[in-house]
Amino acid sequence: MLRYANPTRFLQLSSALVPWLGAASAALFAIGLYLGFRVPPDYQQGETVRVMFIHVPAAWTAMMGYGLMAAASLVGLVWRHPLADTAARAAAPLGALFTALGLVTGSLWGRPMWGAWWVWDGRLTSFLLLEFLYLGYIALWNAIEDETRAARVCAILALVGAVNLPIIEFSVDWWTTLHQGESILRKGGPLISSVYLWPLFTMALAYTFLFFTLWLLRIETEILRRRARNALLAEGP
Amino acid sequence: MNGGDYGFYVWTAYGVSFAGLAAAIVLTVLGRMRAAKALEKLK
């Protein structure tokens, strides 16, 4: 694992992985969409059940992205490895996007099902906080000129913010929420029919693979930018 | 599927999601290509 902490080796590995991950994501999107539009409407939710196939994967990916960002931040903070800081920084805009998609699609599902675009319940509020954590992290990085200092300060923010992940996960158990309780990844098995589970899990994999494809590309971009900046500095005025 | 009474919500959710993901893919790939070109020029 440490072998790939070297940027040159990382670029070699990443360049080999990206086309496969991208292709797998595209194929899974095609299968997931096909399955998602073939299933019958739910007896309660009607056609809006199809929103679940994009809302839940976006929310899961957003949380996974924050977990990866926090883990990379911890590695950067403890071992002071620039590649870990780069990985954490590269995950933030992607995480912010997936969180925003989770919020918007959730709202578009909530309006016809709950009669409200938004409610301040535990799940929705903690998930909105996730978006603010991502945006705050990005703003903080851009506000500090010294990259080493920016990486350290942002790593602390990412680690403190990681407390929000279990809050999001267990909010539906801890508080009475309008958002439904855990119905998929729960003890005793999922509560929803397997007819809906297949398109949901296929789309979740597609979103996950897409996240990794874009994350690796963004890390590659940052490595190349740093090399270009170092080359410019070496040239001198 | 036309979404019945809920077509607006379903199609808007899919439209917003795919617009967002497509924008992320395009911006990421363009950023990667620009960074590679900039480094190439310096070499």
Strand partners, A46: A42
Structure tokens at A174: 């801890």
Angle of CA points A79, A82, A88, to nearest 5°: 95
Determine the pLDDT at residue A188.
Answer: 76
User: What is the distance, to the nearest Å, from the Cα of residue A145 to the centroid of all Cα atoms in its chain?
Assistant: 26
User: What is the distance, to the nearest Å, from the Cα of residue A135 to the centroid of all Cα atoms in its chain?
Assistant: 13
Determine the pLDDT at residue A189.
Answer: 79
Q: At residue A195, what is the residue type?
A: V
Determine the pLDDT at residue A237.
Answer: 63
pTM for this structure?
0.93
Determine the pLDDT at residue A35.
Answer: 95
- DSSP H or E run through A210: helix A194-235
Name which of A234, A230, A211, A182 is nearest A65 in CA terms. Answer: A211
Asked if the model's pLDDT at residue B4 lies above 70, the reply is no
Determine the pLDDT at residue A192.
Answer: 81
B36 touches chain A (CB under 8 A): yes
Determine the pLDDT at residue B2.
Answer: 54
Determine the pLDDT at residue A1.
Answer: 59
User: What is the distance, to the nearest Å, from the Cα of residue A115 to the centroid of all Cα atoms in its chain?
Assistant: 28
Q: Are B39 and A231 in contact (CB under 8 A)?
A: yes
Determine the pLDDT at residue A184.
Answer: 76
Q: What residues of chain A lie within 8 A of the CB of B17, using their CB?
A: 54, 58, 101, 104-105
Q: Are A141 and A89 in contact (CB under 8 A)?
A: yes
Q: Are A162 and A66 in contact (CB under 8 A)?
A: yes
Q: Is A59 exposed, middle or buried (0-12, 13-18, 19+ CB in 10 A)?
A: buried
Name which of A28, A44, B7 is nearest A36 in CA terms. Answer: A28
The domains of chain A are located at 16-38+46-180+194-235
Determine the pLDDT at residue A3.
Answer: 65
What average pLDDT values come out for chain A (237 residues) when binned by 10 residues? 76 95 98 94 88 96 98 94 93 98 96 93 95 98 93 96 95 84 76 88 97 98 91 76
Report CB contact under 8 Å: B38, A217: no
Which residue is closest to A97 within chain B, CA to CA? B20
Which residue is closest to B41 within chain A, CA to CA? A228
Residue A110: CA count within 13 A, CB half-sphere = 19
Determine the pLDDT at residue A20.
Answer: 97
- DSSP H or E run through A48: none
Q: What residues of chain A lie within 8 A of the CB of B31, using their CB?
A: 217-218, 221
Determine the pLDDT at residue A74.
Answer: 97
Q: How far apart are CA A186 and CA A132, in angstroms?
A: 28
Segment B18-33 shows an average pLDDT of: 97
